[in-house]
């Protein structure tokens, strides 16, 4: 069964929606003011307390200090750190040193086979293949056949195209945000539809 993450929660209602839909993970975008879904670490801690057991919280970071991600991992606010900036292998190693036993995900912007080679070689626990971090558009899915490890597919996913994505690419999991929004706010019905589509046999 394909796993699914609902990313970009920023309101109490969003947490209630994922509590009802029960995706595998939910994502909080932390200290990235360019996003309308941006949250401070303190705000993430508040929302995290509302999260139902069984939905794993992931912190999404863009070139944040190692200490920021490590603190949230170490105190249990998040269970994984998803890196969306220019974080390199040294950053990943430093994060693992600062938060022993932590789970690290790394996103790769897919433009060419070389990007998939980098994703395949990453020491991250899981890689995410994306179009460009929040564009809401898919990358050229024909490129995805070059990755040699389990990955999360992101970018341009909607409840309507999830089945096609799964049947075409067979990703280990999906990461969806704008595709389950209406007017830049999470939509319960779209979240429910997306989770159902991902889990349909």
- DSSP secondary structure letter of residue 30: B
Residue 102 annotated as catalytic: no
Residue 187 annotated as catalytic: no
Q: Which residues contact 25 (CB under 8 A, 6 or more apart)?
A: 3, 4, 5, 6, 55, 56, 57, 58, 80
Q: Give the span between the Cα atoms of 82 and 63, in whole angstroms.
A: 11
- Residue in 14, 31, 115, 130 annotated catalytic: 130
Q: Give the span between the Cα atoms of 181 and 8, in whole angstroms.
A: 10
* Contact of 57 with 43, CB cutoff 8 Å: no
- Residue in 7, 24, 31, 102 annotated catalytic: 7
Residues known to be catalytic: 7, 130
């Amino acid at each position: 069964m394909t796993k699914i993450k609902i990313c970009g929660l920023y309101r109490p209602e969003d947490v209630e929606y994922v509590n009802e839909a029960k995706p595998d993970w939910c994502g909080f975008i932390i200290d990235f003011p360019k996003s309308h879904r941006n949250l401070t670490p303190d705000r993430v801690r508040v929302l995290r307390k509302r999260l139902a057991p069984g939905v794993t919280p992931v912190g999404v970071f863009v070139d944040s200090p190692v200490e920021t991600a490590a603190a949230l991992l170490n105190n249990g606010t998040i269970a994984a750190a998803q890196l969306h900036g220019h974080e390199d292998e040294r950053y990943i190693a430093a994060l693992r040193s600062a938060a022993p036993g932590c789970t690290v995900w790394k996103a790769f912007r897919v433009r060419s086979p070389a990007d998939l080679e980098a994703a395949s070689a990453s020491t991250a626990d899981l890689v995410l293949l994306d179009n460009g971090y929040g564009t809401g558009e898919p990358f050229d899915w024909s490129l995805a056949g070059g990755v040699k490890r389990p990955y999360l597919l992101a970018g341009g996913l909607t409840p309507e195209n999830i089945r096609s994505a799964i049947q075409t690419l067979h990703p280990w999991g999906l990461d969806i945000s704008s595709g389950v929004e209406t007017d830049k706010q999470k939509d319960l019905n779209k979240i429910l539809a997306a989770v159902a589509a991902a889990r349909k046999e």
